[in-house]
Chain A
Amino acid sequence: KQEVTQIPAALSVPEGENLVLNCSFTDSAIYNLQWFRQDPGKGLTSLLLIQSSQREQTSGRLNASLDKSSGRSTLYIAASQPGDSATYLCAVPISGTYKYIFGTGTRLKVLA
């Protein structure tokens, strides 16, 4: 059964730091992995979609990597800013189904 874990649950960093958020999954038979950002009380904004055939995907200061063999994805945020403060979620489709499973997220706070 696919399980998705995000550690840590919360993270505080000073502005300007580079940081890494982690997403682990138990079943490596995934088509892709998607990273989202969620601001408090708001909807989910898609950040990056990384296909199973890719190892990395980049958008601006964000870089997502995927290692299926180890069941891990990381989201790297360069030069963090207070505006990056949000909850970051990862999600994978469950192999052989039309279902999706989400991690419980990492709540990031970037201090000015």
Chain B
Amino acid sequence: EAQVTQNPRYLITVTGKKLTVTCSQNMNHEYMSWYRQDPGLGLRQIYYSMNVEVTDKGDVPEGYKVSRKEKRNFPLILESPSPNQTSLYFCASSPRGTGRYEQYFGPGTRLTVT
């Protein structure tokens, strides 16, 4: 089944403890992206990747890191999480990032930072 998977689905952590949220797609898509969703603010793009080893900042990249060493995986790294990073996170992928293709979303990761 074609899909985008994220792990973990739920995570509660403490301020400053490094964490990684994994994202994987099995559709051979070139483009992958991370979003966060907050009440009243909607979905905002954190980082995106046009292909392996090619990444760039979205609208809210502060406090996050990403890497794209393989086409299928695009992990989101929080080096020192803070409470304002408590949010619902989504990974998405698309065949290409030229804006002409549909985006497919993962199920989401709910992160709470205390």
Contacts and interface: CB of A to CB of B under 8 A. Distances in A.
Co-assembled chains A and B:
yes
Interface of A: 30-32, 34, 36, 41-46, 49, 51, 89, 91, 93-95, 98-105
What interface size band does chain B fall in?
20 to 34
Interface string B81-105: 0000000101010000111111111
B48 A99 contact: yes
B107 A49 contact: no
A40 B110 CA distance: 12
Contacts, number: 64
Given A51-B100, A93-B99, A98-B31, A104 B105 contact: no
Nearest to A9: B40
B56 interface: yes
Contacts of A36: 105
B75 interface: no
B45 A99 contact: yes
B53 interface: no
